[in-house]
Amino acid sequence: MQVHRGGRGEHGEDSQCAFTHALALGVDTLGVDVTLSRDGVPMVWHDLTIKDNKCVDTGPTVAGDPQFPYVGKPVHDLTYAQLRTLDCSLPQENFPHAHHEHSSFILQLDEVFELAKLRPEVRFNIEIRTDPTRPDESASTENTVNTVVQTVHEHDLRSRVSITSLDWQALPMVKKADSSILTIASYTDGTFTPGSPWLGNISYTAAAGDPLEAADALGVDGISPRYSQSASTVDGKTTHVDVTPDYVKRAHEKYLLVIPWTINDPAVMQQLIFAGVDGIITDYPTRLMDVLAGDTAPIPDRVVSPSPLG
């Protein structure tokens, strides 16, 4: 069970309060979004640009700072000190029942690792937040990857970390930096398309439009589809990402873990458990805990296929 953005359905997105709550619940994995500040600090924040519906300025780091106000600027254009002045505790319309602590600041990766010291079994799924369609709005993918891997090494956490990204060029870079770290290829029906810049050096055509074939060619350890039961149209073709028992079986035959996102409906959680997925990413960890504990409708017998984790 992995919390998405700290479990933003229950607490403020990527906040210290959210991660502390998730750890207290007993989640298996913390999902951690990372982008670099201007001075190279790995910041735990999903958006490449500071949005005014999430954060407010509290004041400049120094009087007359020409970059102030900071809201509306890319994270990578701001220093760690500037980013720490932001109050990112604004309630979110899509998550009306989430608890938001006053004056919630943006964490750095070191701090999330420190929070989890009392839970030596917990894992971290770190997402490299770079966008190949907007390269000027973040540090380079290679710099971001190398900084994250260095931080993982400093905390001696390589056996407890996986690194994921929608930007597939990041994943071979991770293996080059440390081949022991698990890599997970994330995708949506909007990024896995012909000619997509998100696929790095992988050819959609050579993979016959099959994300599992593409992930296998990429050399990753797992795949993380954005789950959808509703169809959409891409290049004139109707597509959707529906994680079925057959999808999971085929993935496991290629020694790929299957960890779909973002699953907030208990009924869908049950369907995916039945399908045999290796993990579920959710904004609502308490809901998933209830499903796993059997506090909702009974879960049908799980389809068994050989997981890469054994």
Residues 37-81: tens digit of each pLDDT = 999 999 999 999 999 999 999 999 999 999 999 999 999 999 999
Rounded distance between C-alpha atoms, residue 211 and residue 193, angstroms: 10
What's the rounded mean pLDDT across residues 133-152? 97
> 12-27 pLDDT, tens per residue?
999 999 999 999 999 9
Residue 286 domain-assigned (yes or no): no
Contact between 228 and 264 under an 8 Å Cβ cutoff? The reply is no
Number of domains in the chain: 2
Contacts for 246 with CB less than 8 Å, ≥ 6 apart = none
Q: Do residues 42 and 120 both lie within one domain?
A: yes
Residue ending a domain, among 148, 180, 212, is 180
**Which pLDDT does position 110 carry in this prediction?**
98
* Mean pLDDT for the chain overall: 92
Is the pLDDT assigned to residue 299 strictly greater than 90? Answer: no
Task: Give the residue numbers spanning the domain of 77.
Answer: 1-180
Residues 198, 175, single domain; the answer is no
Q: Do 224 and 158 share a structural domain?
A: no
Query: Does 233 sit behind a cis peptide bond, omega within 30 degrees of 0 on the bond before it?
Result: no
Query: Is there a single domain that holds both residue 5 and residue 135?
Result: yes
The per-residue pLDDT for 228 is: 76
Residue 243 has pLDDT above 60, yes or no: yes
User: What pTM did the predictor assign?
Assistant: 0.92
285 assigned to some structural domain: no
Q: Are 142 and 10 part of one and the same domain? A: yes
Q: Which residue has the higher pLDDT, 49 or 300?
A: 49
92 is written with which tokens? Answer: 């979110």
Instruction: Establish if 267 belongs to a structural domain.
Output: no
Domain identity same for 173 and 226: no
Token pair recorded at residue 244: 């079925």
pLDDT higher than 50, residue 142: yes
Residues β-bridged to residue 163: 126, 183
Based on the domain organization, do 40 and 59 belong to the same domain?
A: yes
Q: Are residues 237 and 88 in the same domain?
A: no
Identify the band that residue 174 occupies on the pLDDT scale cut at 50, 70 and 90: very high
Domain boundary among 114, 147, 180: 180
Is the residue at 219 inside a domain?
A: yes
- Write down the pLDDT at residue 178: 99
Q: Are 157 and 26 in the same domain? A: yes
| Co-location of 173 and 62 in the same domain | yes
Residue 170: give its domain's CATH number: 3.20.20.190
Please check the confidence at residue 166 and state whether its pLDDT lies above 50: yes
Rounded CA gap, 251 and 267, in Å?
Answer: 23
For residue 203, tell me if it sits in a domain.
yes
pLDDT at 308: 53
Same structural domain, 73 and 199? no
Q: Which of 123, 158, 180 is the last residue of a domain?
A: 180
The pLDDT score that the predictor gives to residue 229 is 55
**E strand or H helix at 270, and its extent?**
helix 266-275
Dist CA 34 CA 116 (whole Å): 17
Tokens 């690194």, residue? Answer: 163
Q: Are residues 221 and 202 in the same domain?
A: yes
Compute the average pLDDT of residues 138-166: 98
Give the integer Cα–Cα distance in Å for 70 and 56: 9
Q: Give the three-class secondary structure for 73.
A: coil
Distances in whole angstroms, Cα of residue 185 to Cα of each of 95, 109, 153, 217, 259? 27, 21, 22, 11, 10
Is the pLDDT score of 258 beyond 90? yes
d(CA 93, CA 187): 25
pLDDT over 50 at 236, yes or no: no
Q: Is pLDDT at 301 greater than 60 in this prediction?
A: no
List the structure tokens of 293. Answer: 């504990």
